[in-house]
């Protein structure tokens, strides 16, 4: 089987399933594991965002989607030459990867037409289902089930550690800094599973744009700065834009642990548990995962 992934989370899943030799094309954002960077890049940004501030990125993304309907450019010639049997993409967020109507138009130019799996998770259970769906498509259901079982065992361990807490800290999780967005989808569930109380956000729903006055009024014990698309250094640089005081504030590597709905979300739950309950929950991951501010 020849697989092209348009989505970083799907690329992580495919590699986790041991499909290294089958992955023949990726997007420009597929950077984990390291081997993904060696694959031909089929999807690029249609507009350059690298030099823009968060507020400029927000307005540029909105304008581009309004005018063209897409933030991405697919190298159709390269895609045809790769002749994929399976394309992994999503239909959740127009900012994350090509989706929906874009893929429908694209398939019209491919012969033979590949199968397409649309991954649209809104919860941790949905992420598990996506992994199992890919496992079924590539005849590796048993591997997918082992990964899911391992993740659930780790979540159960966090639950046991936090089950006797007398109080749970409240958390404001900033998914974007200017304008300010509070993370939705799977993130509120991650916070709750880590022994915290998620404020403002709506589990399983889109991220919520809020004013700073609203965020301050929430009076969170902990603020976590995790701008979507950024690693730790980017989060540290943007933290001052949040402007929401708290007893404790952390910048985190959003790309690795929160923004991409793949296996590393389990690491993200363990990371939040450590940030909220450092005496109770160890963090055995990378030092570059977070920084106290």
Do 103 and 9 fall within a single domain? yes
Please state, for a pLDDT cut of 70, what percent of the chain lies above it. Answer: 95
Res 139 pLDDT > 80: yes
**20 lies in some domain:** yes
Range of the domain at 48: 3-125
Same-domain status, 178 and 111: no
CATH code of 16's domain? 3.40.50.1980
Please compute the mean of the pLDDT values over residues 82-89 and round it to a whole number. Answer: 94
**103-137 pLDDT, tens digit each:** 667 777 788 889 999 998 999 999 999 999 999 99
Q: What residue ranges in 104-247 does DSSP mark as E strands?
A: 115-119, 170-177, 180-182, 197-198, 208-209, 222-225
Give 185's DSSP letter: B
In the predicted model, is pLDDT for residue 280 greater than 80? yes
- Residue pair 250/178 in contact (Cβ under 8 Å)? The answer is no
Compute, in degrees rounded to 10, the torsion defined by CA atoms 29, 272, 211, 179. -20
User: 220 and 283: one domain?
Assistant: yes
Residue 3 to residues 6, 143, 289, Cα–Cα distance (Å): 10, 17, 30
The pair of three-digit structure tokens given for residue 141, joined into one six-digit string: 């259901």
pLDDT at 111: 81
What pLDDT does 112 receive?
Answer: 85
* 277 within some domain: yes
What is the tens place of the pLDDT at every residue in 150-186? 999 999 999 999 998 989 999 999 999 999 999 999 9
Measured distance CA(195)–CA(265) in Å, rounded: 15
**pLDDT at position 65:** 75
Grade residue 92 by pLDDT with cuts at 50, 70 and 90.
low
Q: Does a structural domain hold residue 230?
A: yes
120 and 19 together in one domain: yes
What confidence tens digit (pLDDT) does each residue in 183-208 have? 999 999 999 999 999 999 888 888 99
What gap in Å lies between CA 82 and CA 80, rounded to an integer?
Answer: 5
Q: What pLDDT, in 10s, does the model give residues 219-278?
A: 999 999 999 999 999 999 999 999 999 999 999 999 999 999 999 999 999 999 999 999
What is the average pLDDT value for the chain, to the nearest integer? 92
Residues 114, 196, single domain; the answer is: no
Contacts 24+ apart (CB under 8 A), 284-292: 286/253, 286/256, 288/231, 288/232, 288/253, 289/232, 289/252, 289/253, 289/256, 289/257, 290/232, 290/250, 290/251, 290/252, 290/253, 291/232, 291/235, 291/236, 291/250, 291/251, 291/252, 292/248, 292/249, 292/250
* Residue that finishes a domain, picked among 90, 125, 160: 125
Q: Is pLDDT above 60 for 94?
A: no
Average pLDDT over residues 10-31: 96
Read off the pLDDT band of 101 (50, 70, 90): low
For residues 54 and 227, the answer to whether their CB atoms sit within 8 Å is yes
Asked, for residue 149, whether it belongs to a domain, the answer is no
Last residue of a domain, one of 69, 99, 125: 125
Residue 83: the pLDDT is 94
Same domain assignment for residues 112 and 12: yes
Q: Residue 53: inside a domain, yes or no?
A: yes
Question: Average of pLDDT values for 34-61?
Answer: 89
125, 160, 189: which is the final residue of a domain? 125
Q: In angstroms, rounded to a whole number, what is the distance separating the alpha carbons of residues 144 and 128?
A: 8
Beta strands 208-209 and 180-182: pairing type? antiparallel
> CA–CA separation, 4 vs 24, rounded Å?
6
| Domain assignment of residue 96, yes or no | yes
Same structural domain, 200 and 115: no
Residue 186 and residue 194 in contact, taking contact as beta carbons nearer than 8 Å: no
Confidence band of 63 (pLDDT split at 50, 70, 90) = confident
Q: Is residue 99 over pLDDT 60? A: no
| Structure-model confidence comparison of residues 102 and 83, the more confident one | 83
For residue 245, tell me if it sits in a domain.
yes
Pairing of strands 41-45, 208-209: unpaired
- Shared domain for 208 and 273, answered yes or no, is yes
89 and 199 in one domain?
Answer: no
How many domains does the structure of the chain reveal?
Answer: 2
What 3-state class would DSSP assign to 70?
coil
User: Which tokens in the block code for residue 166?
Assistant: 């007398």
Q: Is there a single domain that holds both residue 182 and residue 116? A: no
The token duo for 263 is 């296996």
Q: Kindly list the strands in the beta sheet with 23-27, ordered across the sheet, starting from the edge strand earlier in the chain.
A: 72-74, 41-45, 23-27, 3-5, 86-90, 115-119
Q: Are residues 106 and 213 in the same domain?
A: no
In terms of domains, do 95 and 197 share one? no
The answer to whether position 147 is within a domain reads no
**Residue range 53-78: mean pLDDT, rounded:** 83
Residue 95's pLDDT is 52
């Amino acid at each position: 089987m020849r697989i092209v992934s348009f989505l970083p989370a799907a690329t992580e899943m495919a590699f986790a399933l041991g499909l290294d030799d089958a992955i023949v094309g990726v997007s420009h954002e597929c950077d984990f594991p390291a081997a993904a960077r060696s694959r031909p890049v089929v999807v690029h940004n249609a507009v350059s965002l690298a030099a823009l501030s968060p507020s400029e990125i927000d307005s540029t993304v909105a304008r581009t989607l309004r005018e063209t309907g897409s933030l991405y450019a697919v190298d159709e010639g390269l895609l045809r030459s790769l002749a994929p049997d399976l394309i992994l993409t999503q239909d959740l967020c127009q900012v994350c990867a090509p989706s929906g109507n874009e893929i429908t138009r694209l398939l019209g130019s491919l012969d033979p037409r590949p199968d397409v799996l649309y991954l649209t998770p809104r919860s941790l259970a949905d992420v598990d289902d996506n992994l199992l769906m890919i496992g079924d498509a590539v005849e590796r259901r048993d591997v997918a089930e082992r990964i899911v079982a391992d993740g659930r065992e780790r979540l159960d361990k966090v639950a046991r550690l936090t089950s006797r807490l007398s109080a749970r800290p409240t958390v404001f999780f900033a998914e974007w800094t200017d304008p300010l967005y509070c993370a939705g989808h799977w993130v509120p569930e991650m916070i709750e599973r880590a022994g915290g109380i998620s404020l403002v956000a709506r589990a399983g729903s889109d991220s919520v744009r809020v004013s700073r006055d609203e965020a301050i009024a929430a009076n969170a014990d902990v603020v976590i700065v995790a701008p979507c698309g950024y690693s730790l250094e980017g989060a540290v640089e943007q933290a001052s834009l949040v402007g929401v005081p708290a007893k404790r504030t952390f910048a985190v590597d959003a790309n690795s642990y929160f923004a991409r709905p793949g296996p590393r979300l389990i690491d993200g739950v363990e990371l939040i548990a450590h940030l909220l309950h450092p005496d109770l929950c160890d963090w055995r991951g990378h030092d570059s995962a977070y920084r106290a501010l």
